[in-house]
Chains A and B, each alone.
Chain A
Amino acid sequence: MTVKLKLENVSKIFGPRPKKAISMVENGMPKEEILAKTGHTVGVYNASMEIMEGETFVIMGLSGSGKSTLIRCLNLLNRPTSGAIYVDGENVVDYNKNQLKYYRQKKIAMVFQHFGLFSHRTVLENIEYGLEVRGMSKEERQAIAQKHLETVGLKGYENKYPDELSGGMRQRVGIARALANDPDILLMDEPFSALDPLIRREMQLELLDIQNRLQKTIIFITHDVNEAFKIGDRVAVMKNGKVEQIGTPEEILDKPASNYISEFIRDIDRSKILQAEHIMTKPYGLVSLKDGLNVATQVMRENGISSAFVTDRKRQIQGIVTIDQAIDGIKQKKTLQEVMSTEVKTVRPDDYVQDIIPYVLDSKYPIVVTDEDLTIKGIILRVHVLASLISDNIEE
């Protein structure tokens, strides 16, 4: 994977003489004191990160943490006070007026928290806007806008005005407008926080769906941990203008870099983040079909277990045999194939723990994790599921 976007020590300070205030931050003066003494607001301080092509990168933080300031640095709605932002290896901070215009018209587009729609234009004209400022002809841009309007499911609303739509629909217009420009990078500034929870969930799923198809580089801002972990391939947590930790959701859950982050993720529903592959263990006590019942009983005895999974030569799951079935089978001179039960519950490595819980509760036996061709990847015991739901911090 290639690096699409690289931030190097980006800082943004608001006020008449930001350069002076930056040295105060460097000397460790807290944000509040700088504001009181000089009237400068520290938006972002010394943020560095690399965002990969095609990645969904979430910046998470509470209000005032600088996340909105940071995302606005990426398309230079905020000009960074210091630092560099490389997009495809070019430092966009150094762009002149025309380069900047080109960059915004072609490479990067933004979706806003309160939609930022033009209330004097129809839905279709809103979606056309980005193409219109590029100077594209009316027929051409209308055709493209129409296509994206349909992508977001708003066919038939072309000639409505934004204030005739519900919040969710308005944000779809916002997304269609950004996508119509066919940008490499999509900036989303808390796009779903103004929507009610049901619509929000629906839009999150739709975004994941769109992302699957289009593979844009998405930078997504949110204050909602659950949303961040659901959507993000990687997540950066910000606090007071500084980046506290960057990592995959699992990494952050596993090893929070600070108490602040532990606190932040305490309320998270871990079962929605963790997937089968995160909690499974290596399969043990496997028996091959050709081994027969005697080997099976031996394997169970050695491992101290009362059931064993049966596989074929390619380690594809065939069934499960219990110790009782095995002993009866030996007495009645049956084969392993005859006595084993083929009703085995399997899950995929990327199934979420929350979806596995019902199986674990129903089943007396462990759950098998397999990939698509039923090759065994691991097994999950009831105890693994329960342990995964307890946050690590409590143990410490």
Chain B
Amino acid sequence: MTEFPDVRIPIGDGVEKFIDFLASHFDAFFDFIFVISSSLIKGLEAGLLAIPWWLFIVIIFLLGWYFTNLYGGILFSFFIFLIGTFDLWPETMTTISIVLISVVLSLVIGIPLGVGMAFSKVMSTIMRPILDAMQTMPSFVYLIPVIFFFPLGNVPAVIATIIYALPPVIRLTELGIRNVDEEVVESAQSFGSSTSQMLMKVQLPQALPTIMAGINQTTMMALAMAVVGSMVGAQGLGERVLYAINRIDISLGFEAGISIVFLAIIIDRITGGIARRLQKHRRDAA
């Protein structure tokens, strides 16, 4: 009796059948998503590549200066310059496009879900374990089903990235709205605000700094996943890393790797700076 008995509860098979079912019956829906996201990514990528390199560096400098400080601006633009010298410019733009599109779609899905959870206890109770699972599931696992629905390339990477990067923004939106000072909510109520006025004029703006912290985390996770996404054919810096692993090309691996680190630092500091700026006017005024 040392070995586990030979019983098999085929949950994995069930999931597989479910995915098959989705893939065969909803292909029109997935085609639609594919067309939309693929054109979004392509468009953004083309747009970014159309910006002259020096202008892009200036933009990064200004963003860094405005949201952090002068040194931040100088450092960030230097990072971008370095990436250019690695000859990884187009790959970087692709990665930025994938990340931006994933983040925007995550926010479009995540913020309403977070608001819903803040308002409905039932929804919150149901969503919590799902979010836990989404965050603990190894990120590679998401890659498997999405390639059933979509051709290899950037789109499945974006979809997998969204699933992976979604939880922080949902959780922090919920937290932010729940934590709005009770008296502030009461005072909005006492003036006869409707539910939507309350949400748009008071709760969301008050929760914005917390939501920004969620957006920051979501962005960082999206960047990490965009790299992993190269396993399902996503292009960009991740694809160069994967290529370097296969070739055991230390030089390229390091350059592509450090470029990802640079992007991560820049995105983190800038979104963090936006969050701090929003925080400015709410220290203890509640």
Contact = CB atoms under 8 A, between A and B. Distances in A.
Interface of A: 72, 75, 77, 100-106, 108-110, 112-121, 129-130, 132-134, 161-163, 170, 181, 187
B129 interface: no
13 contacts: A104-B189, A105-B191, A109-B190, A116-B181, A116-B187, A117-B285, A118-B184, A118-B188, A119-B285, A161-B281, A161-B285, A163-B284, A187-B190
B190 A77 contact: yes
CB-based closest 4 A-B pairs: A116-B187, A104-B192, A163-B285, A119-B285
Contact of B191 (A113, A114, A120, A130): A130
B191 A129 contact: yes
A116 B202 CA distance: 11
Contacts of A110: 186-187, 190
Contacts of B183: 112-116
Contacts of B189: 77, 104
Contact of A103 (B187, B192, B282, B285): B192
Given A100-B192, A129-B188, A130-B192, 7 more contacts: A101-B194, A117-B184, A117-B285, A118-B205, A119-B184, A133-B192, A163-B283
Contacts of A163: 281-285
B190 A132 contact: no
Residue in A77, A110, A118 with the greatest tally of chain B CB atoms within 10 Å: A118
Nearest to A106: B192
Given A104-B191, A105-B191, A181-B191, A120 B281 contact: yes
Interface string B244-286: 0000000000000000000000000000000000000111111
Contacts of B184: 116-119
Interface string B184-206: 10111111111001000110011
Contacts of A170: 285
B163 interface: no
A120 B282 contact: yes
A187 B183 CA distance: 14
Contact of A132 (B181, B201, B284, B285): B201
Interface size class of B (residues with CB under 8 A): 20 to 34
Contact of B194 (A75, A114, A133, A181): A133
Given A118-B206, A161-B285, A109 B186 contact: no
B186 A133 contact: no
B192 A105 contact: yes
Contacts of B187: 110, 112, 116-118
Nearest to B281: A161
A133 B200 CA distance: 11
Contacts of A104: 189-192
B190 A118 contact: no
A134 B181 CA distance: 23
Nearest to A100: B192
Contacts of B285: 117, 119, 161-163, 170
B191 A119 contact: no
B208 interface: yes
- Most chain A CB within a 10 A radius of its CB, from B181, B190, B283: B190
Contacts of B181: 114, 116
A161 B205 CA distance: 14
B190 A75 contact: yes
Contacts of B208: 120
Residue of B186, B188, B191, B201 with most partner-chain A CB within 10 A: B191
Point out which of A75, A103, A187 has the most chain B C-beta atoms below 10 A from its C-beta. A75
B280 to A, nearest CB: 8
A108 B286 CA distance: 22
A316 B206 CA distance: 64
Given A116-B186, A163-B282, A102 B192 contact: yes
